[in-house]
Every structure is written in C-alpha cells, then in structure tokens.
Structure 1
Amino acid sequence: MTQIQSARSAGTVAHLRPAFHVRPPRGYLNDPNGPIELGNDVHLYFQSRPVLDLQAPVEWGHATSTDYVRWTLHRPAMAPRPGGPDTDGCWSGNTVLDDGRIRAFYSGRVEERPYQSVLTAVSDDGGASFGPPRQVVPDPSDGAIMFRDPFVWREDDSWWMAVGAGYAGRGASIASYRSDDLEHWTDAGPLAELPRGVVDGEDTGAAWECPQMLTIDGRRIAVVSSWSPEGGPGEALSFGVDGPPAPQRVDHGTNFYAASALRDSRFGPLLFGWLTEGRDRPGWNDDWAGVISLPRVVWLGADSSLRSAPVPTVDTLRTGPGVPADGCTTGPQCEIAVPEGPGRVVIHFSDQERVVIELDTDTLTVDRSQAGLGPHSHRDSMRVSDAFDPASGRPAARIFLDGSVLEIFTSAGRVLSTRVYPTSPPVWRVEAPATARFWTLDS
C-alpha cells in the first residue's frame, strides 16, 4: 500500500497531479463505488485500470481513510475472474454491511453479452478483497438499451436494489428489486422513469447510469447520471422519486459524473464523484487520468435541489491559521475562502494563464478560458445562480485547488467542479478581495 502524497514526480506536468484527492499512482480511474464505514475506517472503492488503455478490464481499486481527507491506497480489492461473469470487467456498484461483513453488488461485464449482469461478492477480510461473484438478478428481457450499476440499501425492514436502465420508447429508468436476505430478489417495478427530454437546458438522458438512493428529510432522493448511446456520459442529476421526476444538476461545473452515495456516515449523507479529465485524450501526457472528488455532505435546498458542502475534516488539511489571500503566492495545493461577495478571485498561473472566479450578487462564475496554453485543454466558463446564502454561516465561496482539480463550494450549497491545466509550474499568484483568506493545504 502507499500513502497519497504531494506530487514530486519528475517532469513538467508534476504540478498537475492532485495530492489530497483520491487517484491511483498510475492508470485510468473513473466511477467511485461503494463508500462504507467499518469501525473507524472508511473504505472507498473505484473503477480502475492499471494503464491508460481503455480496453483493459476494469478492477475495483481500494482506498481507506479515518478522516475522509487523508487516504491510503491498497492493492485492488476486486479483479475480473477469467471465464467468470465479470471476465471483462468489474463495473460499478455499491457495498453494504451484511452481518459485519462488507458485501458488494456490482455489474459484471462479459464482452459478447448485451448487458452487465448484477453480481454479488462478499469480503471476509474486512473489505480488502472479495470472494467469487454470483449473479442475483436476471438480465433484462424487455427491450432495455442499458442495464447496469446496482445500488443496494436497507429501508422498512427490507433490502432494496436500484439498477440503472433505459428502454426504447420509455426513456431513462431506475429498475428496482426487493429482498429479505440479500440473496433472493423480487422485481418491484421501476422507481422512476422519464422519457428523454430537456429540463432547464439539461438532456435528461436515454438511460440513467449509477443510480444512488438517499433519504433526506423523509424523502427518497435519487441521484443518477444521464447517458445516451450516441453521446455517452452527460450530467449527474437528482430528483425525488415520490412524484414525477424533476431532474436538477448536482454539480454546476464541467467535470463531475457518476456520483456514489454513502447514505449514513458520521457526517450524514455523503456523495463522492468522478472528476473527469478536462483535456482531450492526446493531452494525457502523464501516466494517469481521472480523480475522485472531495466527499460532500448533502442536503435539500428550498427548491428540492441537492446542495453540498465539503466534509468538515477538510479543514485539517490547512497548514496554518490563514493569511490575507490577496497577493499570496501558492503551490499546487491551496484553499481560498471569500466570506462575502461581490468579489473576484484570480489565480494567476503565469502572465498568460489564469482562472477567474467572479462572485456577483446572486451568481458565481468560473472562467477557465485562459487557464492553460496547452492545445488539448478545454476552455470555457460555467455559472450558477442562487449561489449565496448569507444566513448559512458558511463563506460565500470556498475554493479548493489541488493540482489540476478545482472545486468551489458556495454558501448556498452550490458546487462547481472543473479541471485546469496550466503549463507554467508554480509559484502562482492569488488576486482576491481584501477579506479573503488563504491556506496552503498539506495531505
């Protein structure tokens, strides 16, 4: 095993490597899977390939933490079994406690089969590895265009399972099943369905991947990732399932997808997400790609949208009491807190490279159009309204920079996650309002 540390590798791209966000030292990472607390430890699994070849079968990477911010990487907890029901990949799912053991539910990929089978496997060594898989839900036979990514939870003295799906003529769907013993499952019909359309400018998807189920304020809240055969991944969306789905974005940035929920934690309901690369494939000029977001405490806003704040323990990454941010110089890891708006924060990577965060009366905007001179970096802006709640007691904006990762949380619980790729290594310079505070962060 190896402790995640600050980037010290050779080469001009070392400053882009995140230090306190989970990622393997090399290879390709995507969906987080099955975060779970066992005693004092938090186990987090994630989709991982040891190389950047996307044809390589997916494994379940594994990391543990005692505080949700300092993570220890372990060897993969699950790998495809040749000739088995996951021979071409152990795809996404979640974990539950079953008589003190961690039990995983996940999708097993076999290349020549049209759907990923819903499998279960049990760990008898405290979550470090899982035994042989067994299929527990039949493959669909009703015209599904997609069927994968189980999520299991306990409710009303029963076990429930949600599976992401999509159907020609019906649209995106969350299939559901019920069980008394985690072994035998009965079809309980769809939890939610929605014909493909556009809601508040967002494509709701031909199918929903990675369905997660939270219970907040007594309401069942689904978090899904919209997907289409022609476009692939879309956006992470949330909605209540006790009425017609009214999807809203979970993250208002450009690079958050495939959320994974922990229904009950020491901090309440949490979400993790996959922070995708913000550069085209030819720009992956190092030996890794993909990273996991900071874990987020979530609640419902007045408009029933899912709101977020970083786990409280992220404060322990700060190396000192904080100093005025304006004019500070920084390395690749820092936090900038703006207590109130309006205002403007600029992180100057060089004379020609910068990212600009604008706080207006009601709106927060992130402009990364000049964040990197490299030819493969994505350049755009993102914006969210209803961003500030002065009565919350939270800063108007908390800005976390970790190499190429930028996550910004607002006082009203909005969050924008994106990726930036400056070609200039530190030292970088901060321009900020007089009241803003700055901390160097150290994992």
Structure 2
Amino acid sequence: MTQTQSVHRSSGTVAHLRPAYHVRPPGGYLNDPNGPIEHGSDVHLYFQSRPTLDMQVPVEWGHATSSDYVRWTPHRPAMAPQPGGPDTDGCWSGNTVLDDGRIRAFYSGRVESRPYQSVLTAVSDDGGGSFGPAHQVIPDPSDPAIIFRDPFVWKENGTWWMVVGTGYVDRGASIALYRSTDLSQWTAVDPLAELPRTSVAGEDTGSAWECPQVLTLDGRRIAVVSAWSPEGGPEAVLSFDADVPPAPQRVDHGTNFYAASAMRESRFGPLLFGWLQEGRDRPGWTDGWAGVISLPRVVWLGADSSVRSAPVPTVDTLRTGSTSAGAITAQCEIVVPEGSGRVVIHFGEQERLEIELDADTVTIDRSHASLAPHAHDGRMQATDAFDPSSNRPALRIFLDGSVVEAFTSAGRVLSTRVYPTTRPPWRVEGPPGTQCWLLAP
C-alpha cells in the first residue's frame, strides 16, 4: 500500500481497541519483528516501524527492551535510513547476533532504484541502543530472482551461516544459503531449501519466501518462512525440516500472524515472535496506529514435526486478579482447563466472538465480532489441538484490545484481530471451570 490518509487521534469510540501489553509504538505503523536477542539481563526486540501511517515514509528499526519478556520499555529507533546510503529508502528486516559481546545486525537495505534490497551489516557499540554505519556483505543475486531480502544469521558448530529469502519464476520459493568464519567474508553454497509453488493441505506455499528463520529443534534444522507472492502479498507462516524435501505446515492457524522472527536461544529456549497484522481495511485505521507484535512464544516440535507454541511462562505475572460473573476488561486471559464446549466473548448485544472446542478441534468464529464496516470476519480452525497429558490448560485466550491469541494444550495457536464497537466491560461465558484473569502491563 502506498496511499496516505489523514490521521484522527484516538477517541472514546476506538481507544479500547489499543493493545496494552503487546509491543507496539505509541503511534504510526509497525510490521515485522526483527532480531530479538538477550544482552545482559535484558532482551532487545527490534521491529519495522514508521512514525506515521504514511506508507511512503522509509521504514526504520523501532526498539523495545524487557527484563521479563512481557513488560516492555520503548526506546528511540535503533536504526534509521542513511540519506544517500545503502538503506536510504528503508532499513528492512533481518536479525542480530552477538559478535565479541557487541550486538551486530544483519538486515536488508532498500534503495528504490535498485531491483533488490542489499544485505547489510551494522554494529552497536552502546549495548543495542543504536547501530553504526552499515555496509554490504552479500552481492545481489546473479539470477533474476523475484525477491532477495531478510537475512537471518546464526552460528552452528563453529561456522556462521546466513539465509536470505528469495524465489524464482522457474524454481519457486527458495532459501539462499551462505557461510562464513568471521561474519565478514561470505561464501554462497547450495540453497537450504526450494519448493515450486504449490498447495499443501490447502496452504499456498508461495512463489517466494520472506523472513526465513532457522531453529534447531530436537536436533533438526527447522526452517520457518513467510510465504509471499507478487500478486497476493503475504500469505502464511510455514515451517518444515530443512534437511529433507520440504513438507510445509502452518505455524499459526489464525488469520493475522506473519513475518515470524526467531530467537534460537533464550532463557526459555527457542522462541518465535510475529507481526499481528491489522484485521480491518485501510479506511478503518482512524486512530493513528496500526500493527502489533505477538506475545513471544516458546516453540517445540509436535509428533507430526509441526512447530507448536505456548506463551512465555512470565506472561502469568501480568495477572492482577480474577474476575467475577464473567465480566472482563479489554485486557484479560480466559482459561478453559479441560474438556469441550463453547466460549463466547459478548462485546455487546450484537457483537460477540465465538470459540468452539470439539473433540480434537478448536474453531474461532469472528463473523459477529464487530459492527464496524471495515472489520474483517470469517472462521479459523486448528485440528490435533488438545493434549490432556501436557499439563497445560485446554485453551488459553489472551485478549488485548483488538488482539486475540488462543493457545491450545497441544501447542496449536490461532491469532486474529477483532474490532468491537462496544466499549468494555465485556462478558464471557464458557464451559464449567472457565476462569478469567485481568491483565496489566
């Protein structure tokens, strides 16, 4: 999108839709999370952002830190485009690594006149608060690629590796792969994975892969990619074993999770963050902000080799008390301990979100969630959703203004956005034992 729109500041009719404990800047546009990394006692999270909703403003790296992964302190942007430099039209997505104790970023620099985004690196000498001048480390592809962007760097068995998202008309989606001994000189090797565009279990695998990430789970290299096509744009986040022919599976079964960003190591183990896109048409962005980062998710492999997720354990510290008579605010957690049944979040007389637990399936229906003309509706579903032996509740639903993230006991997750016009308090009904917690950042 390139159109601009005048911005109206929040009024009482939309203020309740603003997320409070999810990461987002005070205003403007946010999309991909970038380079989460632990440094000392803090975790640094970077993300694509613009100070306004004008999509022609070059993107920069926003910045937030946390000591517990759930309470975040926003900072000034850590990286901004250098006029006349290799990222003059935008500091696009990438990740960070520790290099002799310093945080080093790898990212895509956009120059509008160039066909591809250059793979750049820059170093922070102030503990991650800002990054110095950038320089290019990977040449543009020699073959005519559809895209070439979003580097991800990691160290494995003493060797540095880098993947870059790409795709080709004749070969399909691809993950370019490079190796290095010093983070400076990089050698291209065979692609980590490729797949001609197809449909797997109803999922479009994309003509190119953005934001490739590589995790090591159960001793296997697991690729996490964001399927993309020139005509359709973002599709879904998919994962697969990178050392065998790709068999992609969906990472999030909701409607609004994209551009996953991985932490290979953290105090909680491997994590994923994601961009929760807006679930409303552009004319509905009337309150001066758009986009939010998901809760950080602990990830593991299910029996079917799919990536499963649960919120970081410290999310429990956001609880300030349970509610009575099913009354909730816009920031709450709804816990269904076991069994099947139906959860309904009543926003108003004509607005409700319906969540069905049935056998091994969870379904979220937002067909009646909003009377707003620009809000999206529809249903989403995940199977193999429940594992009574996991010691996790059957379902945990995190509500934060317009954000909904639902985690099942088997590690399925569905993320979506809702835009009720009715202001809180709202009301919840659910199966016996359902508990509601108020949350505060």
Give SS of 1:313's match. Answer: helix
Structure 2 regions of 5+ residues with no counterpart? 1-8
Task: Note the alpha carbon deviations across 1:122-163, whole angstroms, 9 max, x for none.
Answer: 000000000000000000111111100000000010100000
1:429 is matched with 427
Instruction: Give me the whole-angstrom Cα distance separating, in 1, the residues matched to 2:125 and 2:391.
Output: 44
2:13 is matched with 12
1:438 is matched with 436
Give the letter for the 2:365 counterpart: D
1:167 is matched with 168
1:5 is matched with none
Give SS of 2:146's match. Answer: strand
Instruction: Give me the whole-angstrom Cα distance separating, in 1, the residues matched to 2:319 and 2:50.
Output: 32
Instruction: Give me the whole-angstrom Cα distance separating, in 2, the residues matched to 1:177 and 1:189.
Output: 8
Give SS of 1:265's match. Answer: coil
2:379 is matched with 381
2:233 is matched with 232
Give the letter for the 2:273 counterpart: F
Q: Note if 1:346 corresponds to 2:344.
A: yes
Structure 1 regions of 5+ residues with no counterpart? 1-7
Instruction: Give me the whole-angstrom Cα distance separating, in 2, the residues matched to 1:93 and 1:80.
Output: 14
Misfit runs of 4+, over 6 Å = none
Q: Is the 8 A contact 2:10 2:287 kept in 1?
A: no
The percentage of counterpart residues that share the same residue type is 78
Give SS of 2:320's match. Answer: coil
Using the TM superposition, give the Cα deviation of residue 11 of structure 1 relative to its aligned residue in structure 2, in angstroms. 2.8
2:43 is matched with 42
2:4 is matched with none
Q: CA RMSD in A?
A: 1.0
Alignment of 1:300-315 (within 5 A): 300-315=301-316
2:245 is matched with 244
Instruction: Give me the whole-angstrom Cα distance separating, in 2, the residues matched to 1:160 and 1:71.
Output: 30
Instruction: Give me the whole-angstrom Cα distance separating, in 2, the residues matched to 1:237 and 1:263.
Output: 17
Q: Note if 1:209 corresponds to 2:207.
A: no
Q: Note if 1:191 corresponds to 2:192.
A: yes
Using the TM superposition, give the Cα deviation of residue 323 of structure 1 relative to its aligned residue in structure 2, in angstroms. 5.4
Give SS of 1:316's match. Answer: helix
Give the letter for the 1:49 counterpart: R
Q: Is the 8 A contact 2:323 2:438 kept in 1?
A: no
Instruction: Give me the whole-angstrom Cα distance separating, in 2, the residues matched to 1:434 and 1:117.
Output: 55
Instruction: Give me the whole-angstrom Cα distance separating, in 2, the residues matched to 1:375 and 1:9.
Output: 18
Q: Is the 8 A contact 2:328 2:424 kept in 1?
A: yes
Give the letter for the 1:371 counterpart: A
Give the letter for the 2:207 counterpart: A
Give SS of 1:144's match. Answer: coil
2:279 is matched with 278
Give the letter for the 1:417 counterpart: S
TM value normalised by structure 2:
0.97
Instruction: Give me the whole-angstrom Cα distance separating, in 1, the residues matched to 2:15 and 2:144.
Output: 47
Give the letter for the 1:294 counterpart: L
Instruction: Give me the whole-angstrom Cα distance separating, in 2, the residues matched to 1:113 and 1:372.
Output: 42
1:4 is matched with none
Instruction: Give me the whole-angstrom Cα distance separating, in 2, the residues matched to 1:91 and 1:99.
Output: 24
Using the TM superposition, give the Cα deviation of residue 10 of structure 1 relative to its aligned residue in structure 2, in angstroms. 4.2
Alignment of 1:62-77 (within 5 A): 62-77=63-78
Instruction: Give me the whole-angstrom Cα distance separating, in 2, the residues matched to 1:323 and 1:118.
Output: 50
Instruction: Give me the whole-angstrom Cα distance separating, in 2, the residues matched to 1:361 and 1:204.
Output: 29
Q: Is the 8 A contact 2:328 2:436 kept in 1?
A: no
1:355 is matched with 353
2:362 is matched with 364
Give SS of 1:37's match. Answer: strand
Give the letter for the 2:128 counterpart: G
Instruction: Give me the whole-angstrom Cα distance separating, in 2, the residues matched to 1:242 and 1:125.
Output: 38
Using the TM superposition, give the Cα deviation of residue 9 of structure 1 relative to its aligned residue in structure 2, in angstroms. 5.9
Give SS of 1:319's match. Answer: strand
Using the TM superposition, give the Cα deviation of residue 225 of structure 1 relative to its aligned residue in structure 2, in angstroms. 0.1
Instruction: Give me the whole-angstrom Cα distance separating, in 1, the residues matched to 2:323 and 2:279.
Output: 31
